[in-house]
Structure 1
C-alpha cells in the first residue's frame, strides 16, 4: 500500500534562516508579497527585521497585522479584502500558528472568495491559492508544514477544520532564533502541542512508515528539551531542538493525522477561548491513559522516544511511565485546570453535549486507537474537572 506524502516545496532550517527569504521569494517568482502577522510581531520588531531583509533585495512588502490568537472569520476579513484589492503574488506568514493559519485562509478566500465554512472538512481544498512562505516564531503548531488550517465560525462557536493541498505553504523558514524571546507559558503550551502532534500521528491508524519516523524523531528532540526551554528560554540548544521537533511533528501529523486530543480540544478553544496548545495539554494525560489499552506497543514506543522509558522495560512498564510523565510535566509547566483558567463549571456542563457533537464532526476522534462512545466522551470531558486522572475501569 502506498501513501501520499505532502511537504513544502522548500525549507530553510537553522539560525538566521530568515536571511534567505529574498532568495526563496525569487525562486518562487514572488515579487510583491504581503506579510500576514500580528501586533506582537510588530511590537517585537520582527516585522521590521523582515522588511529590512527584503528592502536590501529591493523588495517592498505591505503588512497586514490584525490577525488574532485562535483566528476567526471576522478577524481575517480585512486581510481577505486587502488581498482582493491589491495584486499581491504571495503571502509571508510570520508568527505563531494563528498568523500562519490566518494566512492560509486568506490565501484561499482572497483568490476564490466565499466564506470559510465553504471550505470546511470533509471538503478537500486542493486548489492553489496565493503561495505562502511560512516563518514560525513558536515551536509548537507545525502549521508551516501542514495542509490544515483552523478558523472559528463565530456565529456557531465552532472551530472549522479545513484540509487540503491548497493550505500547504510552498516554503517554510525554520529559524529557531525567533523563539528565544517566547515567554514560558507560550513555550509550554506550544511545546506540549508539538508533543501531542507527534504522539497522535504515531498512534493514528492513518500512520505510515514515513510519518512514524518523523513522529519518533520529533519526540526524541522534544522529550529531553521541553523543560529546559521552559525554564531557560535563552538556551539555544534546547530552543533549536524544540523548533526542529515541532516541524518534524507537523510533518508527521500532516502525513498521518491527529486524533482524540485534538478533536476534544477544538471545542474547548471555541467556547472558552483556551489557547489551542493549552487545551491539548489539559487533555493529553487523560486521553493517553484512555487509549493505551488499544495500542500499548505504540504508546510504549512514544515513551521510549521521549526518553522516559528504557528499551529493556516492558510495554506496560513504559506506559505507566508515560502517563506519570505527562501528569508531572503538566505540573512542572504549570498547566492550569479549566477551573484555574476561569471556566465556570455550569457553563461547561451546559455545553458538553455540543462539544461532543463538534468533536465527532471534526473526524479526529475516529483516528484514535480507542474511539469513545458519546457517553465516554462526556465522561472524559467531565474528568477535566477532577485531577486529570482516569482509570481504565472508570471510562468503559
Structure 2
C-alpha cells in the first residue's frame, strides 16, 4: 500500500512571521482579500495585527467576522455570499480552528459550487477544483488547521458535527507567529494545547500510521508534553514551543487520521457547544486506557516522549498504565474538567450521542474496534 503525504505550500514560523503576509500576497498577484475571523479577535486587537499590515501597504480587503465556535452550515453559507459580494480573489483566515475551517468550507464551495449545500462536502467529497487561495494565520496553539486537509462543520439542525477531508482545501501559506498567541487566556491555551496532544497521540496510534507520521507525532508529543504547562501560565517560550508542536502534530494526523477520542468529542461539541479541545482532553485518558491492549509497544514510545521515569525498562502493562497516568496528570495540571457532567452533558442524551460517535469518520481509525454499547459505557464512565 502506498502512503500519501500532503503538506501546505509554504509556512513561516516564529515571532514576526506575520510580517511576511503582504509580500506573499503581492508575489502571488492577488488583488483583494476577504478576512475570515471573529468579533472577539477584532475587539481585542488580535486581528488588527494583520489588518494594520494590510492597511500600511494599501492592500484591499473586506472583513467577515461572524464566525462562532463550532461553525455551522448557516455561517458557511453566509460566508460564501460575503465572498462573492466582496469581489475578493483570496481568503485570509485569522483565528483558531473555527475561522480557518470556515475559510476552507467557503473556499471549497466558491471553487466547487455544486457543493453549495455544504453537507455534501462531508467525508472525502469528489471535488474537482482547489479551494480559493487561503492564507492561514493561527492565533491558538492546537488545531493545526493551517496545515491540515481537514475541516469540521456543524449541522445545527441535527446537532451533528461532520468532518471533511479534502487535499484541495489546504491553505497555500501559513503564518505561525507565536506573538499572536500570547493573548490566549489560560483556559483556551489549555484546551487547544490538549487538543494538539490528542492529535499527536491519536495520530500515532491510528490504523494508518507509518514511519514518517510516527516521527512527527512522537516529536509533537515530546514538545507538547514539555511546554504545555508553561504555555498555560503565559510563558512566551512555552507559547512558541506549543505553536511548533501543534503544527508538527497537524502535519502527521492530517495524512493518517485520528481515532475514538475525536469520534466521541465531535458529538459533545455539536450537542452542547463544548469547546473541542476541552471535549478531547476530558476523553483522552479514558480512551487511552480503553485502547491500551491494542497498541503494541507504542505506549512505551509515548511514555518515553513524555519523559516518564524508567519507561524503557518497565513491563509493557506497567508502561501502558504509566503513559495514561502521565496524560491524566497533564490534563489535571492545566485544569481540564475531569467529568462530562461538569461540561453540561446529560445522561438522557448518551444513547443518541454514542450513535453519532460511532458514525464519525474519525472513529474508524481507532486501533481497537468499538461498538455503540462500548461508546455508551465510556461516556457513562465519565459522567
Task: With the length of structure 2 as denominator, give the TM-score of the two structures.
Answer: 0.95
* Residue-by-residue CA offset, 1:221-251 (whole Å, 9 max, x unaligned): 1011111111x21x12111111100000111
Which residue number in structure 2 is paired with residue 374 of structure 1? 372
Checking the alignment, whether the CA contact within 8 Å between 2:62 and 2:86 is kept in structure 1 is: no
1:209 paired residue number:
211
Q: 1:126 to 1:282 in 2, by over 3 A?
A: farther
Matches within 5 A, 1:278-289: 278-289=278-289
Cα contact 2:300–2:323 (8 A) shared by 1: yes
Residues 53-62 or 272-281, more deviating:
53-62
Deviations 1:75-124 (A, max 9, x none): 23321111122321110000011111111111122333311101111425
Q: Which residue matches 1:19?
A: 19
Q: Secondary structure at the match of 1:107?
A: helix
Aligned: 1:361 with 2:363: no
Partner of 2:319: 318
Change (3 A) 1:259 1:228: same
The 1:228/1:124 distance shift into structure 2, 3 A limit, reads: farther
CA distance in 2, matches of 1:316, 1:45: 49
In the superposition, relative to structure 1, how do residues 125 and 289 fare at CA in structure 2: closer, same or farther (>3 Å)? Answer: farther
Aligned to 1:153: 155
Determine whether 1:171 maps to 2:169: no
The correspondence of residues 257-272 of structure 1 with structure 2, limited to 5 A, is: 257-272=257-272
Which of 131, 134, 153 is the matching residue for 2:133? 131
* Deviation at residue 211 of structure 1 after TM alignment: 0.9
* Secondary structure of the corresponding residue to residue 223 of structure 1: helix
Aligned equivalent of 2:76:
76
TM-score after normalising by structure 1: 0.92
SS at match of 1:255: helix
On the 8 A contact 2:357/2:363 being kept in 1, the answer is: yes
Do structure 1's residue 44 and structure 2's residue 44 form an aligned pair?
Answer: yes
5+ residue gaps, structure 1: 386-396
**1:304·1:318 contact (CA, 8 Å) conserved in 2?**
no
**1:188 is matched with which residue?**
190
* Corresponding residue pairs, total: 379
- Paired residue secondary structure (2:188): helix
CA contact (8 A) 1:36 1:93 kept: yes
Q: Is the 8 A contact 1:121 1:362 kept in 2?
A: no
Structure 2 unaligned segments of length 5 or more: list them: none
The 2-side partners of 1:356 and 1:366 are apart by: 14
Is the aligned partner of 1:350 residue 2:348?
yes
The 3-state SS of whatever aligns with 2:308 is coil
Q: 1:377 to 1:224 in 2, by over 3 A?
A: same
Q: Is the 8 A contact 1:125 1:163 kept in 2?
A: no
The equivalent of 2:276 in structure 1 is 276
Q: For residue 391 of structure 1, what is the aligned residue in structure 2?
A: none
Q: CA RMSD in A?
A: 1.5
Shift of 1:127: 2.6
